[in-house]
Amino acid sequence: MHPADFYTGIVADLYGPLKRFSPDPEPYAAFVREAGGPGLELGCGDGDPLIELRRRGLDVEGVDSSADMLARCRSRAAEEGIDVLVHHQRMEALDLPRRYGAVFLAGPTFTLLPDDGAALAALRGVRAHLAQGGTALMPLFVPEPTPAGQIGRVRVTTADDGAELRVSVVSEERDEAARTQVTTLRYERHRGGEGTVEDRPWLVHWYTREGFEALAGAAGLRAVSVTGADGGPAADGATDVRFRFRAT
């Protein structure tokens, strides 16, 4: 399975019920207003924070590699009477008819791209879709290894139809040289004596700050700020940062 197809099938079905939190929409609303619209959320998934941004009247579209997640997004928006425009495309193959003043990810979804080659292609796509004077906001993080005590631990919740939903970490492999971590997750759905169980590899590919800036530079983007989780300048060695880029 290609990493871009991770959030499909049973993973998409269980994503909402098992989701621990949703991103605060306010920083992204402020970013779109500051950078100037229209906005484009990369990796919009099932609609957080895209739906809330549209509720606030902001001209923001979404794009995601998972048709299943986009179907959830459209369904949620329709239930709330909110119009959303979303596109089924991979980040590394963006080809949209519009240019955007604000391109952003509402979380470190960029680390789901499998390697530097895919990252460079995605950054070139971002550059090609920025309007003149536009800004891109891209959060990144370096994942921590899953603690040994959490391997095999099962999280359980109940779906609206009464089905028991479970997710657990089966195993994990980390390659510091390749900057990748592959966590095998087991997703389960059980109801009325019937069950579905599927293991999925979740790949995270991270970057050094210098390496990511070099990739962005090769794509025609320059960093105008690099901030930490607190909004201040990112400290050396910070593992949770937010880049803002503009076209060179």
Span 24-41, pLDDT tens digits: 999 999 999 999 989 999
Share above pLDDT 90 across residues of the chain, in percent, rounded to a whole number: 88
Distance in angstroms (rounded) separating the CA atoms of residues 22 and 20: 7
Alpha carbon of residue 70 to chain centroid: 13
Give the pLDDT band of residue 189 (cuts 50, 70, 90): very high
pTM value surpassing 0.75 = yes
Give the pLDDT band of residue 129 (cuts 50, 70, 90): very high
Give the pLDDT band of residue 45 (cuts 50, 70, 90): very high
The 3-state DSSP composition of the chain as helix, strand, coil percent (nearest 5) reads 30, 35, 35
DSSP 22: -
Strand partners, 88: 64
Question: What local confidence, expressed as pLDDT, does residue 23 receive?
Answer: 85
For 45, the 3-state DSSP assignment is coil
Instruction: Count CB-CB contacts under 10 A for residue 151.
Output: 14
For 108, the 3-state DSSP assignment is coil
Distance in angstroms (rounded) separating the CA atoms of residues 84 and 211: 35
Alpha carbon of residue 110 to chain centroid: 6
As a CATH number, domain 3-142+207-247 is 3.40.50.150
Distance in angstroms (rounded) separating the CA atoms of residues 223 and 111: 18
Q: Give the strand pairing for 240-247 and 130-141.
A: antiparallel
Question: What local confidence, expressed as pLDDT, does residue 10 receive?
Answer: 92
Contact 233, 141 (CB under 8 A): no
Distance in angstroms (rounded) separating the CA atoms of residues 163 and 226: 44
Closest CA relative to residue 10, chosen from 166, 169, 193: 166
Distance in angstroms (rounded) separating the CA atoms of residues 123 and 137: 11
Contact 74, 43 (CB under 8 A): no
Span 78-112, pLDDT tens digits: 999 999 999 999 999 999 999 999 999 998 899 99
Average pLDDT over residues 110-130: 97
Sheet of 194-205: strands edge to edge? 154-158, 164-175, 180-191, 194-205
Strand partners, 157: 165
Give the pLDDT band of residue 236 (cuts 50, 70, 90): confident
Residue boundaries of the structural domains of the chain = 3-142+207-247, 148-204
